[in-house]
Amino acid sequence: MTMTTKTTKKTQDLGQNNKTTRPPIVVVMGHIDHGKSTLLDYIRETNICAEEAGGITQHMGAYQVNHVSQDGKSHSLTFLDTPGHEAFCSIRTRGAQAADIAILVVSAEDGVKPQTLDALTAIKSQNIPYIVAINKIDKPNANIDRTKTSLGEHEIYVEGWGGDIPCVAISALKGDGVPELLDMVILMSDMADLSTCACKMATGIVVESELDTRTGVHATLLIKDGTLEVGMYVVAGSAFAPVRFIENFLGKKINYATASMPIFIVGWNEVVPCGSTFQVVASKKEAEEISKEYSTNNKSCAKILHEENPDIAVLPIIIKADTNGSLEGVRHEIAKIKHDKVRIKVVGEGLGEINENDVKSAVSDPRILLIGFHVMPDSKAAATIERSPIPLSVLYFDIIYKLSEFIQEKLTALVPKEYIEEVTGRAKILALFSKEKDRQVVGGKVESGTLNSGNDVRIMRRNEEIGRGKIRELQSKKLRVSEVAEGFEFGTMIEAKIEIAVGDRVESVKTIEKK
C-alpha cells in the first residue's frame, strides 16, 4: 500500500467501511528474571539483555518481527517487552492496555512469583486473551508439571490441567518451543479478528517518551488504528509534534506507518505523557487547539494540596531520569518508603541529564539529594558540582532497587532519636533521718532490681509519681557502697524538692534510646 496524499475527512469517512486485517500487538509479561527479554532476544535475534543494567528490563520496548507459520505463511507480529520489577507496575499496565494478546512467562524452576500475579492482574484488567509460556525447560531444576500445579494454585488453569488457557513449554535461551508459541499467537489473533481502517488518521498509545538535550523530546508511539504520514501532526494530551519524519523500531526513516507499528517521533513541544492516547490531525492549528483545550480542562480540575507538619523531618530530593517510564518507576519506589517521623519531599523532577539549574537548587539547600537514574550531569553541571563551596549529595543509579535502598538508608538516618526511661530498681522508704534544704537522709529496703549511687529516682506515693530526685550517697550496713541489691536495706541521701514520707517508694530509672 502506498500513501501519497494527506488523509482528508472525506477519505477518513470512506475508510470506515474499508477494514483490513492488522498484525497482533503482543505484550510479554512476567516476574523479574523469568526470561521475558531472553524470549524476545531469540525472536528478533538481537541482544537487549546485555544493554540493560543488571540484566533487568527497566523500560518498555516495542518491536516488530516476521514469523513463518507451519502453513508457510508469513505473519507480522508486534511485541512489547515490559519490566518484571515490581516498581514498574504502571508500565506493565500500559503494556497490557496497548496489547491485543499477552504472553505470561513463568519459570519452570520457580513457578508463580509475586510479579507473575501483578502481570496477570494487569492482563485481566484489560480483558485480553493470554498464553502461558513455561520457560527455562532446559534448566536442571525445571519441572513443567510442578509449574502447572503452581499455576493452578493461583487460579491460572491451563489446557489439560482443568482449564482452557493455552500453555506452551519453551526454552527462550535455546529456542525450543518458540515457533509453537508464535503459532499459538497467530491462532489467537485470527480468533480475535483484529482489523484497521487504513484510510483513517492514526490513533494509538504513547509507549515511552524521553528528553534529549541535543534533539529535544522523543516519543515511541504504537498505532492501534489508521495511518500516520509525514506532514501530519500528532497530539497527545497537551503535547504535540509535527511529523517531519517517522522512524520505525529499527531506526529507519519511513514515509508512513500503519496499524500495529511501533514508531519514533521527534520534535514534541513538551514531554509526552506515557500511557496517554494520541490522535493525528492535518494542521498545526488543529493540534494547538486540541492541546490548549486539554490544558484548560486539566487546570480547571487540578487541586494542589500542601500539607506540612513541623514535627516531621523532611528529606528533599531532586530526580532526573532518562525516560518517563524510568521516572514512573522511581516515583513508585519512593512512594513505598514511609515513616511517621520523616517524609520524602520531591522538590524537583524531570527528564534528561542533570543540568546546572538542578545543581544550583541542590546548592541552595545542602539537605537535597540530587539523584540521576540512567543519566549523568552535563558538562556545565559537572563543573558546577566540582566548584561547589559545600559538599553536594549527587548520586547516580542504573538499577532501581539500589536507588530505593539508598534512599531508605538516608531516610532512616534522619529519623529523630527517641528515648525512654527504664526502671532498674524499686525500694520502699522505711525511715526518715534528717532533712536539710533539698537534701533528705532516708532509710529503706530494695524490693526489686538494684539502686545505684548517682541514679535518678521517681518518688511514688500510692502508685502516683509526686516528684523526682537523685541519689547522692548510698550506704549499706553503715558502709558507703555504689549499689544495693534486691532484699537488702540501705540508707541514702536523696536530693529532691518533694518531701519524702515513710511508705513512699522510689524507683531508680535510667534513660535509654528507643530502638
Mean pLDDT for the chain overall: 84
- Whether 83 has a pLDDT exceeding 90, the answer reads no
In the prediction, which pLDDT does 91 show? 56
pLDDT at position 107 is 93
Residue 16 or residue 34, greater confidence: 34
The SS3 assignment for 141 reads: coil
- Amino acid identity for residue 449 in this structure: G
3-state secondary structure of 201: strand
pLDDT of amino acid 148? 94
How many Cβ atoms from other residues are within 10 Å of residue 51's Cβ?
A: 10
Q: Quote the pLDDT of residue 211.
A: 79
Helical residues (DSSP H) of 259-347, grouped into ranges: 284-301, 324-336
Give the pLDDT confidence of 320-365 residue by residue, as tens digits.
988 877 887 888 888 888 887 788 888 888 888 898 888 888 877 8
pLDDT value at position 4?
Answer: 35
For the segment 479-505, the average pLDDT, to the nearest whole number, is 94
Lowest mean pLDDT among 11-25, 81-95, 124-138: 81-95
Q: How far apart are CA 105 and CA 112, in angstroms?
A: 10
Query: How buried is residue 69: exposed, middle or buried, by Cβ count under 10 Å (0-12/13-18/19+)?
Result: middle
pLDDT of residue 301: 42
User: Does the pLDDT of residue 22 top 90, yes or no?
Assistant: yes
Q: How many helices (H) and strands (E) does the chain have?
A: 11, 30
Which range among 112-126, 208-222, 339-353, 458-472 has the greatest average pLDDT? 458-472
Contact 228, 263 (CB under 8 A): yes
pLDDT at position 246 is: 93
Between 31 and 96, the higher pLDDT residue: 31
What is the reported pTM? Answer: 0.60
DSSP track, 349-413:
EEESSB-HHHHHHHHH-TT-EEEEES--B-HHHHHHHHH-SS--EEEEESSHHHHHHHHHHHHHH
Task: Enumerate domains of the chain plus CATH numbers.
Answer: 23-193 (3.40.50.300), 197-297 (2.40.30.10), 313-414 (3.40.50.10050), 419-513 (2.40.30.10)
pLDDT band with cut points at 50, 70 and 90 for residue 304: very low
Confidence of residue 82 (pLDDT cuts 50, 70, 90): low
